[in-house]
Each structure stands twice: as structure tokens, then as C-alpha cells.
């Protein structure tokens, strides 16, 4: 028997939505403030997965300039109606305090790799929208309803409204079909239909360690919906010793031979800190229907398993990604992301100096608008990232280097700059929840030549180093707390994950460029 090993999508890949089209399985996950929007992974056996594409690649589809940390793309829903792919997504513009500005859109494509259409604006009544294709051909949108009023439940229920493809808009009445259970924070809705019964799957209990999956059902689309009397069908909330925590926000898929699987959000904490710097990841479980029509874990209980029986499908492996990128292509690797805005020739080039990634310095690491930063998800708790940079700063406001970053308030940055007394120099900068400091004295560098930079993480510890030849390394600075780059360590209401990458700033506005010869990301586990 073949086995699936969890998590199937490691690193920051939350809020999975899965769909099968023929022999192909696709999972869409949230990207929050990272561009391009929505990650789509592909598999043919549910065991092996590859990052395939991002559907939201244009600012006409997604304009996140100025979005606050952990806003942007929340909980996409990927579906297929037999002819086209449909992707529903939220662009969150302000974070929930009293009010929330969350705008929901639809894009479509004939092929999963696009081109994807311009967006159709749907509503802004709440987040986590999902599109249900009924067997009569009608389409229905569900999303959670946000209530800002004092004394009210912020998560005010799941609302349903019909979507008219011909008119390109929502039509008809809005119906609140499910107000949730005592767990609260009812969100992440998905509708399914089986044997004439409608099933509503929701996330409850918040996105942290109390997370859970609740299922309700009804004989009519508009309800009333009865919650499963057995309580959550999946959760880690009662067992802090489980390796997979935060289990919740799930989506269902049926294989061609009638087996059912559920993909769900999870987190793997570093103990004893109970922090998850890899962010919320995606795992999978086999599920089964009971004779009386409720959904249960196939192995019994309601806790997530690390290993799951795989379906009886031919093994389908993908070519492994090389750990080193020498920037020999004219497009960025699919694994790279930028913050809030797309990579364009105004600040990034792979062709001006062939074999190099050129970044023109723009705003600071605190900016939510125009950063010159290219990074990838951290997907293991033991890894080494390296880059070589050629950079000739003229003054202290120009800097470039290697960064480990959670968001604009939380990062560690080994950078090259210039000091009036030292000359060209190396410096280590740190910002944790917006508190900035420089842990070490500036190190003098030769006035010319490339500098190799390295970040090495082992569990909870991050160490930086530098080299002039790429062989002999000098450790820079003290051991740093890598778990500080996690939801649990950052301000309340943050839920992304750690990235590592390269960046360049020019705070004087003269756009001084830095040339990166390579970037390498190599996992040890």
C-alpha cells in the first residue's frame, strides 16, 4: 500500500481548496499580501505535488499596494463546472478590528494555466467566498457574513446568493443559511451535494490551535442546516501533543473510484515554543460516509494523521526543482514571490545583465507599497539559503542583501551598505513587531567585488554568515530566534509564514541597483 505523508504542501500554504478534473487534482491556497496571487499545486496521485501556477498575475486582477500585513488574498475557492475553471477569492483591504473591507471576486479560465479572465466583482459582505455548482446548472455563492456592531457576533453566519453567469453578477435574495455552532468564528464555507442532500462544510474555532472542521446538512439548498451532532469531524484542539496542530478549514474531493479525501489547514509547532514559523500548511486525510449520511475520518476519531493511505492510482512523480537559481532565464521561478505588487521592469530585470537578477532600490522593508524584494517560502525547519550580490552603495540610505521575513514589521536582514567612517560595510538589522535594532557593529568590506551571504536555520535558531569567495565563511551576529517569524510571535491577527530572499532599498529615491548572481535554497531535512 502506498502512503501519503503530511503535510502535502509544506510551508505557508493555508486554506486549501481542492478539485479533481479527470485524472488531475489541483489545490488552491491563500497568498495574503504576496504576489502573484493564489498558489495552485497539481498532482495525479495525491501523494506527489508540484507548484504549477498562479492565476492572479496582473494588477487589474489584484492590486494590493498599501494592503496591511496579513491582508490581501484570503481563502480562494477553485472549482470546475465541466467546461471552465472558476476561482473565487477575497482581497482584504483592512484588517478586522471593528470594520473589515473584504472584496470578493471571480475569475475563470478554460485551462488551469490560464489565461485567467479579468475579475467580476461579487460582494463585500464578508470573506471566504465559495462557489457551488448545483446539478441543475445553477451557481451559488456562499461566504461568511461580518457584523461590526457592538455586542454582535462578528461571524454572523454563512450567507447564500445565486450567481448569474449570463449577467456576471449576484442576483436574488441573500439568505443566512447557517449561524454556526458553539465553537464560534464560523467561516471558510464549502457546499457539496451527495444523494440529494446538501452538505455545508465550515471552519470554526478560529485559525489557531482551536481550529476545527464542522459539517452541517440539509435537504434543501437554502436550509435549514443541521450541524453534525457528533461535533467537529476534524480538529487538533483537544490534543496539544499532536504533530499536526490547527487542523481546520477543509475542502473535499472524490476520486474516480469513489474514495473521498479531505484537504485541510494545519501547523507544525516548534516545541516547547509552540510556534509555527513555517506558517499554516496543507495536509490531507481520507474520509468516509457513514450509513446515516455523515462524514467521518476513515481511520476513526477526529484527529489528523501524519500518514494516510493513498488511493490506488499510478505513482506520478515530478522533476525535482534544483536548489540553486543562477538567474539564467528571463522570467522568475514559480517559487518566487514579491510583496503586494508584481515584478516588472521598472524595478526588476533578468535581462539587463544576463545571468543576474537586478533589483533597483525602492522603499524600506517597512513599506506596504513599493518594495524591491524577491523571496520564496521557507518549507523546512532545517535549511540554508545563500546569495551573492554585487552592490556599490554611495551612502547609508542604500542597502541590499539577504532577508528572512515574516511581514513588514518582522524580519532579519543581513545587508551591504555604506558608512561615513567604515566605508562599504556589512550590517545586520532586526525588526520584531516593529521594534528595530542593529545587533552587531558594522563590518568593513572591500570597496569592490561580490559578497556571498548565507542564512542557516536549524529548528528555532537562525545564523547569518558572509564570505568574499563563497568558500570561507564568517559568522555574523548572535544566534537569532527563528520562531519570532511566526503567527504566534507576531501581533494578533497575523497569519502568514516565513520567507527568505533578496532585496534592495534606496531610501534617497535614486534607485541604486544591486545585482544578484545566484540564489540557493537547500533543505537539510
Does 222 share its domain with 340? no
Q: 56 in a domain, yes or no?
A: yes
Q: Is the pTM of this model over 0.95?
A: yes
Structural domain ending residue among the three candidates 309, 340, 371: 309
Instruction: Please provide residue 482's backbone torsions phi and psi, each rounded to the nearest 5 degrees.
Output: -70, -25
**Do 104 and 203 fall within a single domain?**
yes
Boundary (domain end) residue, out of 278, 309, 340? 309
Burial readout 6-26 (b: 16 or more C-beta within 10 A, e: otherwise) = bbbbbbbbbbbbbbbeeeebb
338 and 305, same structural domain? no
Residues 273 and 359 in one domain: no
Question: Which residues does 300 contact at the CB level (< 8 Å), separation at least 6?
Answer: none
pLDDT score at 316: 95
pLDDT surpassing 80 at residue 383:
yes
90 and 71 Cβ atoms separated by less than 8 Å: no
- Count of positions (residues) in the chain: 525
Q: How confident is the model at residue 104 (pLDDT cuts 50, 70, 90)?
A: very high
Query: Quick one: DSSP state of residue 425?
Result: E
Q: Please report whether residue 315 resides in a domain.
A: no
**Residue 85, domain CATH:** 2.115.10.20
Q: Is residue 483 part of a domain?
A: yes
Q: Residues 248, 235: contact at Cβ < 8 Å? A: yes
C-alpha separations of 51 from 10, 91, 383, 502 in Å: 11, 22, 19, 21
Asked whether residue 97 carries a pLDDT value surpassing 80, the answer given is no
Residue 504's Cα: distance from chain center in Å?
23
Judge if 276 and 359 occupy the same domain: no
Residue 235 CA to residue 395 CA, distance in Å, equals: 53
Residue 314 lies in a domain: no
345 in the same domain as 391 = yes
Looking at the structure, tell me whether residues 277 and 350 fall in a common domain. no
If you average pLDDT over every residue of the chain, what do you get?
97
Mean pLDDT of 294-322: 95
Q: Is 331 inside a domain boundary? A: yes
Q: Closest by alpha carbon to 340, among 36, 12, 29? A: 36
Number of H helices, E strands in the chain: 0, 40
For residue 318, tell me if it sits in a domain. Answer: no
Quickly tell me which residue has 499510478 as its cell: 314
Total number of domains in the chain: 2
Pair 351, 500 in one domain? yes
Residue 348, pLDDT above cutoff 80: yes
Q: Give the CATH number, domain containing residue 411.
A: 2.60.120.200
Q: Which three cell numbers stand for residue 461?
A: 535558531
Q: Is residue 316 part of a domain?
A: no
Domain shared by 254 and 192, yes or no: yes
Q: Judge whether 122 and 88 are in contact, CB under 8 Å.
A: yes
pLDDT tier for residue 525 given thresholds of 50, 70 and 90? low
Q: Which residues form the domain of 199?
A: 3-309
In order of 11, 51, 261, 324, 358, the CA distances from 308 in angstroms are 19, 21, 10, 32, 44
Residues 454-507: tens digit of each pLDDT = 999 999 999 999 999 999 999 999 999 999 999 999 988 899 999 999 999 999
Residue 450: exposure state from Cβ atoms within 10 A (0-12, 13-18, ≥19) = middle
pLDDT tens, residue by residue, 45-59: 999 999 999 999 999
Residues 89 and 15 in one domain: yes
Pick from 148, 146, 79, 86: nearest CA to 119: 86
- The residue out of 309, 339, 365 marking a domain boundary is 309
**C-alpha grid cell, residue 207:** 485559525
* Residue 317 in domain: no
**405-458, pLDDT tens digit by residue?**
999 999 999 999 999 999 999 999 999 999 999 998 899 999 999 999 999 999
Active site amino acids: 15, 187
Statement to judge: residues 85 and 176 lie in one domain: yes
Helix (H, G, I), strand (E, B) or coil at 122: strand
pLDDT digits (tens, 9 = 90+) for 353-369: 999 999 999 999 999 99
Pair 304, 451 in one domain:
no
- Give the largest Cα separation in the chain, rounded: 78
Amino acid at each position: 500500500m502506498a502512503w501519503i505523508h503530511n503535510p502535502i504542501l509544506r510551508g505557508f500554504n493555508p486554506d486549501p481548496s481542492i478539485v479533481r478534473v479527470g485524472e488531475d487534482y489541483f489545490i488552491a491556497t491563500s497568498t495574503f499580501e504576496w504576489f502573484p496571487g493564489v498558489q495552485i499545486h497539481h498532482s495525479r496521485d495525491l501523494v506527489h505535488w508540484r507548484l504549477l501556477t498562479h492565476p492572479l498575475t496582473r494588477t487589474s486582477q489584484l492590486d494590493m499596494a498599501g494592503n496591511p500585513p496579513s491582508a490581501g488574498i484570503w481563502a480562494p475557492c477553485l472549482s470546475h463546472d465541466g467546461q471552465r475553471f472558476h476561482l473565487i477569492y477575497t482581497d482584504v483591504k483592512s484588517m478586522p478590528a471593528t470594520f473589515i473591507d473584504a472584496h470578493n471576486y471571480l475569475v475563470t479560465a478554460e485551462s488551469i494555466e490560464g489565461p485567467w479572465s479579468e475579475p467580476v466583482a461579487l460582494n463585500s459582505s464578508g470573506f471566504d467566498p465559495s462557489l457551488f455548482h448545483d446539478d441543475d446548472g445553477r451557481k451559488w455563492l456562499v461566504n461568511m457574513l461580518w457584523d461590526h456592531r457592538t455586542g454582535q457576533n462578528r461571524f454572523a453566519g454563512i450567507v447564500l446568493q445565486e450567481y448569474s453567469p449570463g449577467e456576471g453578477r449576484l442576483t436574488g435574495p441573500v439568505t443566512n443559511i447557517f449561524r454556526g455552532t458553539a465553537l464560534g468564528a464560523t467561516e471558510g464555507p464549502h457546499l457539496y451535494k451527495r444523494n440529494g442532500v446538501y452538505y455545508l462544510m465550515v471552519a470554526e474555532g478560529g485559525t489557531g490551535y482551536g481550529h476545527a472542521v464542522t459539517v452541517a446538512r440539509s435537504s434543501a439548498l437554502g436550509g435549514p442546516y443541521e450541524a453534525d451532532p457528533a461535533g467537529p469531524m476534524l480538529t487538533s484542539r483537544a490534543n496539544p501533543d499532536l504533530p499536526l496542530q490547527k487542523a481546520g478549514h477543509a475542502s473535499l474531493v472524490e476520486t474516480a473510484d469513489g474514495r473521498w479525501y479531505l484537504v485541510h489547514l494545519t501547523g507544525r509547532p516548534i516545541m516547547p515554543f509552540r510556534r509555527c514559523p513555517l506558517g499554516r500548511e496543507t495536509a490531507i486525510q481520507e474520509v468516509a460516509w457513514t450509513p446515516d449520511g455523515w462524514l467521518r475520518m476513515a481511520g476513526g476519531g477526529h484527529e489528523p494523521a501524519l500518514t494516510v493511505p493513498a488511493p490506488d492510482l499510478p505513482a506520478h512523480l515530478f522533476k525535482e526543482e534544483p536548489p540553486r537559481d543562477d538567474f539564467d532565464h528571463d522570467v522568475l521561478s514559480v517559487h518566487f514571490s514579491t510583496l503586494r505588487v508584481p515584478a516588472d521592469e521598472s524595478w526588476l530585470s533578468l535581462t539587463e545583465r544576463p545571468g543576474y537578477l537586478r533589483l533597483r532600490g525602492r522603499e524600506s522593508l517597512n513599506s506596504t507599497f513599493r518594495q524591491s524584494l524577491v523571496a520564496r517560502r521557507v518549507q523546512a525547519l532545517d535549511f540554508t539559503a545563500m546569495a551573492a550580490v554585487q552592490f556599490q552603495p554611495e551612502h547609508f540610505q542604500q542597502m541590499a542583501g539577504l532577508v528572512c521575513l515574516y511581514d513588514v514589521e518582522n524580519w532579519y536582514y543581513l545587508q551591504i551598505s555604506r558608512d561615513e567612517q567604515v566605508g562599504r560595510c556589512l550590517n545586520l538589522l532586526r525588526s520584531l513587531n516593529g521594534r528595530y535594532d542593529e545587533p552587531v557593529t558594522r563590518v568593513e568590506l572591500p570597496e569592490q567585488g561580490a559578497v556571498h551571504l548565507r542564512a542557516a536555520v536549524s529548528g528555532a535558531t537562525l545564523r547569518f554568515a558572509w564570505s568574499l569567495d563563497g568558500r570561507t565563511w564568517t559568522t555574523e551576529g548572535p544566534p537569532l530566534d527563528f520562531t519570532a517569524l511566526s503567527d504566534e510571535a507576531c501581533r494578533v491577527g497575523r497569519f502568514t509564514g516565513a520567507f527568505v530572499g533578496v532585496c534592495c532599498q534606496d531610501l534617497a529615491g535614486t534607485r541604486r541597483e544591486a545585482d544578484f548572481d545566484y540564489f540557493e535554497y537547500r533543505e537539510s531535512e
